[in-house]
């Protein structure tokens, strides 16, 4: 009984709300289009979300550490164009080019991270500059037109899958990649790295005093973010083909998804699973609008309204719940609810005010 | 204790705005040499007019953006406000000069309403400025995409003069922009709300504990920002002769104006910065653009250069600010 109640409380809490939203969306889609609930259809839906969800995982790590990554979309485009131009029809080049793309992603992440942490440039500006440089560079290289088309074998990563599976018929590779990356991400966030990242996002000064190497951890977060953009790019090559505008807007979609998942901009609070659920909720919303026959031009308007409402909901609820509670969010299973002892917050408050002297 | 110590130290030799203008002079010097190397004159009347014209639209947007950033918020909805205002003005005027005042008022009025919505969502619903303005921007974008298929309306010839004429090499549009910047400068310096904008951006909690109504300055900043974006839209309408649903987003004014503000020495976190710094930042962009156009740099490479310049300039600049801060904290206790 008590467990049911606390589960219900979690569902309406900021972190749980995204799952509630997602459930409502999925039910609504199923009502409009019963076929959607069939396993085969559903797995297609998951496949469609995979690139967004993967980018959201990367953006989660950056946002929770208190930074932004606006360069993701441009990096996706860059990777897609690299794959298209360098692999061409020569299947044997797939592996070396893939390795090159990963290296390129790592370099972009390291540059973003180091300029942000060591040169103290706000990450908004660093990644904005990176975005301009990458997208300008890609367009310069391709002359602004769609060029190249990677070999079919490479495109299979994004569009193919394990065939003849009972029930769902096909398990797309992208779904498998998403599951693996999500598992990795959960593992990362439970390790010291993930905990340090959240501590840094909450207060980078306090984390530094506690002995964290802020620049290393944040740079790692940027590298993770760039790597997820790379993976997403590889999937999109198979799915959408090569086009200089393929990754356009992904940075804002990723940020929206992460924020829908209750992750606080400015860092220090959030759960990677909820961020992925945010990506699913966003895509479910688009699917729903599609099925409901709403003109695609209004999609943006509705998306805008929903994200404002979702964040307003979590911000106002969180404020109400925060009174008398500590702000810790880990571990994910334990939502601080009304039963938590009021003794916790007190010892955390006093050192915070005194530490500057 | 610390506030008392800050006051006299604020007059450190190189203040942030000065650095921006030193950087501007550097960019002009390098630009002039590059332009001279291809046999053109950087200081020709035509070139100066081009640069000043290039400053006007981004300048209007950036002046408003400065206020919003000073409060610690952001405005990502400006490109859509720009497009909407250009359309509203052009559709209301319908080419008749008698409708000019009406058109301007409607465009700026709607812009102000959008700014008010931004401000209320940020302050009352406690939504982060990034998300609030992104959401409102998307809503306006949805409206534009749904109801306007292309450019529409038309602007009378009298209104087009604003974008086309000038006094000597100085275009009217730039004079309007600079006049507005002066007004906003006085607003920040002389009015209570202006001071509160700095206070709220410096620390929301401290401002609240000091007894400020923290919502009001943020709302005012958002309204002014949207109105200046609306003015930028009017200016673009006067230049194009029609209203266009994509004129704002094509210009990338959201991110560029934020970049110009930060380039001008305003802290992205809020609480520190100046209007004249922003104008300097806008000027750097305009000079850069003009030099690249004269040198016939590939338009895509321009973006690369712009990106690198933004990051490098801000890196050089923030390096200084951090040092100043350390000194401030360090002098009283441990001077390392």
pLDDT digit string (tens) for A82-132? 888 888 777 788 888 899 999 999 999 999 999 999 988 889 999 999 999
Q: What is the pTM of this model?
A: 0.84
Q: Decide if B311 and A121 are in contact by the 8 Å CB cutoff.
A: yes
Q: Locate the chain B residue with the closest alpha carbon to A133.
A: B304
- The closest CB to that of B306, out of A132, A300, A308, belongs to A132
Which range among A165-169, A221-225, A337-341 shows the weakest confidence by mean pLDDT?
Answer: A337-341
Residue A286's nearest CA partner among A248, A294, B80, A261 is A294
Please, which pLDDT band fits residue B46 given cuts at 50, 70 and 90?
A: confident
Angle at A154 (CA atoms; ends A153, A157), nearest 5 degrees: 100
**Tens digits of residue pLDDT in A254-268:** 988 998 888 888 878
Asked whether residue B97 is domain-assigned, the answer is yes
Alpha helices per DSSP H over chain A: 2-12, 14-32, 39-64, 72-87, 94-117, 123-142, 152-159, 173-190, 192-202, 204-209, 214-240, 250-260, 272-291, 296-322, 345-354
Q: Does a structural domain hold residue B333? A: no
Whole-angstrom Cα Rg for chain A = 21
CA separation for the pair A33, A31 (Å, rounded): 6
In a domain, B325, yes or no: no
pLDDT for residue B261: 93
- CATH code (residue B274): 1.10.3470
Q: What is the enclosing helix (H) or strand (E) of A165?
A: strand A161-165
Among A128, A259, A302, the residue with its CB nearest the CB of B310 is A128
State both tokens at A40. Answer: 């085969």
pLDDT, tens digit, 9 for 90 and up, residues B160-198: 888 888 887 889 999 999 999 999 999 999 999 999 999
Q: Look up the domain containing B77 and give its range.
A: 16-30+44-320
In this structure, are residues B16 and B275 in contact, taking their beta carbons and an 8 Å threshold?
A: no
What average pLDDT does the segment B82-88 reach?
A: 95
Is B128 domain-assigned?
yes
Q: Which of B134, B141, B307 faces A132 most closely, judged by CB atoms?
A: B307
- Judging contacts by C-beta atoms under 8 Å, the chain A residues touching residue B245 are none
Tell me the two tokens of residue A293: 């026959």
Cβ B319–A119 below 8 Å, yes or no? yes
Contacts of B121 in chain A (CB under 8 A): 308, 312
Please state the rounded mean pLDDT for residues A299-303.
85
The interface predicted TM-score of the complex, written ipTM, equals 0.82
CB contact under 8 A, A315 and B308: no
Cβ separation A133–B304 shorter than 8 A: yes
- Domains of chain A, first to last: 2-354 (1.10.3470)
Q: How many residue pairs bridge chain A and chain B with CB atoms within 8 Å of each other? A: 143
Q: What is the pLDDT of residues B115-168, one digit of tens each?
A: 999 999 999 998 889 889 999 999 999 999 998 888 888 888 888 888 888 887
Helix axes B253-263, B45-70, angle to 10 degrees: 90
Contacting residues of B for A136, CB less than 8 Å apart: 300-307
Candidates A126, A131, A140; nearest CB to B301: A140
B326 assigned to some structural domain: no
Number of domains in chain B: 1
B3 occurs within a structural domain: no
Q: List CB contacts of A346: < 8 A, sequence separation 6 or more.
A: none
Cross-chain Cβ contact B307/A131 below 8 Å = yes
Residue B329 lies in a domain: no
Radius of gyration of chain B (CA): 21
Residue B8 lies in a domain: no
B131 touches chain A (CB under 8 A): yes
Please give the C-alpha separations between residue A113 and each of A62, A108, A124, A216, A340, in angstroms, as whole numbers: 10, 9, 11, 8, 38
Question: Nearest-CA distance from B18 to chain A in Å?
Answer: 19
Asked if the model's pLDDT at residue A350 lies above 80, the reply is no
Q: At what angle do helices A214-240 and A72-87 cross, to 10 degrees?
A: 50
- DSSP string over B184-223: HHHHHHHSHHHHHHHHHHH-HHHHHHTT--SHHHHHHHHH
pLDDT of residue A303: 83
**Cis previous bond, A331, omega within 30:** yes
Give the best residue of A138, A250, A297 to mutate against chain B (max B CB count within 10 A).
Answer: A297
What SS3 class is residue A216?
helix
**Contact (CB<8Å) A304/B136:** yes
Long-range own/partner contacts, residues B21-25 (CB < 8 A, 24 or more apart): B21/B280, B23/B280, B23/B284, B23/B313, B23/B316, B23/B317, B24/B280, B24/B283, B24/B284, B24/B287
């Amino acid at each position: 009984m008590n467990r049911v109640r606390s589960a219900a409380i979690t569902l309406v809490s900021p972190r749980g709300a995204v799952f509630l939203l997602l459930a409502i969306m999925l039910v609504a889609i199923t009502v409009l289009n019963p076929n959607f609930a069939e396993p085969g259809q559903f797995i297609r839906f998951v496949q469609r979300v995979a690139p967004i969800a993967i980018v959201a995982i990367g953006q989660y790590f950056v946002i929770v550490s208190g930074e932004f990554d606006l360069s993701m979309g441009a990096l996706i485009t860059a990777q897609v164009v690299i794959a298209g131009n360098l692999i061409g029809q020569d299947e044997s080049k797939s592996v070396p080019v893939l390795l090159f793309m990963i290296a390129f992603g790592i370099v972009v992440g390291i540059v973003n991270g180091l300029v942000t942490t060591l040169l103290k440039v706000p990450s908004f500006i660093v990644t904005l500059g990176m975005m301009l440089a990458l997208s300008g560079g890609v367009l310069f290289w391709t002359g602004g037109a769609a060029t190249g088309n990677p070999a079919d074998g490479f495109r299979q990563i994004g569009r193919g899958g394990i065939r003849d599976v009972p029930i769902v018929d096909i398990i797309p590779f992208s779904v498998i990649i998403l599951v693996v990356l999500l598992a990795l991400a959960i593992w990362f966030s439970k390790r010291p790295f993930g905990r340090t990242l959240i501590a840094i996002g909450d207060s980078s000064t306090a984390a530094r005093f506690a002995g964290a190497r802020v620049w290393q951890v944040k740079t790692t977060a940027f590298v993770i973010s760039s790597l997820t953009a790379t993976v997403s790019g590889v999937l999109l090559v198979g799915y959408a083909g090569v086009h200089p505008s393929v990754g356009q807007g992904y940075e804002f979609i990723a940020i929206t998804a992460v924020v829908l998942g209750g992750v606080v901009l400015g860092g220090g609070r959030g759960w990677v699973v909820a961020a992925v659920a945010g990506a699913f909720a966003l895509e479910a919303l688009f699917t729903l609008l599609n099925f409901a026959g709403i003109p695609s031009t209004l999609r943006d308007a509705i998306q805008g309204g929903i994200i404002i409402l979702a964040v307003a909901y979590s911000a106002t609820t969180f404020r109400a719940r925060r009174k008398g509670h500590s702000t810790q969010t880990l571990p994910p299973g334990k939502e601080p609810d009304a039963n938590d002892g009021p003794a916790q917050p007190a010892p955390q408050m006093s050192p915070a005010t005194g530490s500057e002297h | 204790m610390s506030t008392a110590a800050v006051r006299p130290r604020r007059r450190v030799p190189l203040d942030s705005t000065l650095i921006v203008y030193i950087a501007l002079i550097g960019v002009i010097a390098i630009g002039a040499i590059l332009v001279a190397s291809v046999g053109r004159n950087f200081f020709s009347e035509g070139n100066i007019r081009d640069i000043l014209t290039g400053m006007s639209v981004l300048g209007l947007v950036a002046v408003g953006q400065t206020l919003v950033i000073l409060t610690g918020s952001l405005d990502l909805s400006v490109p859509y406000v720009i497009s909407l205002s250009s359309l509203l003005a052009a559709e209301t005027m319908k080419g008749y000069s008698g409708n000019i005042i009406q058109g301007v008022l409607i465009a700026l009025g709607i812009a102000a309403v959008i700014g008010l919505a931004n401000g209320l969502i940020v302050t009352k619903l406690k939504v982060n400025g990034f998300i609030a303005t992104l959401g409102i921007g998307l809503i306006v974008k949805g409206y534009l995409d749904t109801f306007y298929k292309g450019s529409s309306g038309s602007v009378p010839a009298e209104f087009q003069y604003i974008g086309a004429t000038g006094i000597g090499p100085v275009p009217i549009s730039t004079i309007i922009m600079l006049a507005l910047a002066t007004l906003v400068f006085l607003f920040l310096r002389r009015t209570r709300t202006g001071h509160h904008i700095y206070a709220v951006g410096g620390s929301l909690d401290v401002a609240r504990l000091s007894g400020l109504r923290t919502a009001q300055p943020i709302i005012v900043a958002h309204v002014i920002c949207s109105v200046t974006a609306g003015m930028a839209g009017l200016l673009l309408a006067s230049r194009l002769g029609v209203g266009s649903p994509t004129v704002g987003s094509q210009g990338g004014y959201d991110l560029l104006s934020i970049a110009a503000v930060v380039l001008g020495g305003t802290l992205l976190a809020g609480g520190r910065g100046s209007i004249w710094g922003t104008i300097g930042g806008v000027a750097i962009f305009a000079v850069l653009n003009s030099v690249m156009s004269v040198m016939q740099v590939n338009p895509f490479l321009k973006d690369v250069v712009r990106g690198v310049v933004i990051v490098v300039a801000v890196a050089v600049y923030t390096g200084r600010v951090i040092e100043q801060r350390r000194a401030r904290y360090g002098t009283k206790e441990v001077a390392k």
